[in-house]
Structure 1
Amino acid sequence: MASKTRKYLPLPEVCRRLGRHRSTVARMIRRGDLEAIKSKTSPQGRVLISKDSFDRYQRLQASEQVAS
């Protein structure tokens, strides 16, 4: 059985992985650091972050730490 690769990560998971508060991650989305969509599966909508943009952000952060 092939593993299914997720294209989007839920906001709480991104917060947990980055060790950041929900409002901080929301600010990162508004700044364009992370790409997100609002899912229409619930009445209020659920924020999902693009896995590609999340991976790109982590690589950028890692390279900035090495350069420091």
Structure 2
Amino acid sequence: MEVIEYRHGRGSTLIASQLPTEHRQDYIGSATLADAILDRLLHGAHRLNLKGESLRKAKAQNAESVDPS
């Protein structure tokens, strides 16, 4: 919370996560703290939800098909 509070309104903050937002309170551990953090983060935010297979998974499959060992 201290980091988010310090950054709020001062500059850009990039957050990348694989955690679904609907479970944010469970991960943070406090509904009040989760709401306070997200209020600051989501105000004026640009949110990108990516879909599809993992590129890491695709690269691993390609490596297996190229390497016969």
User: TM bucket by the smaller chain?
Assistant: under 0.3
Give the structure with the larger strand fraction: 1
Length-normalised TM-score, structure 1:
0.25
Length-normalised TM-score, structure 2:
0.25
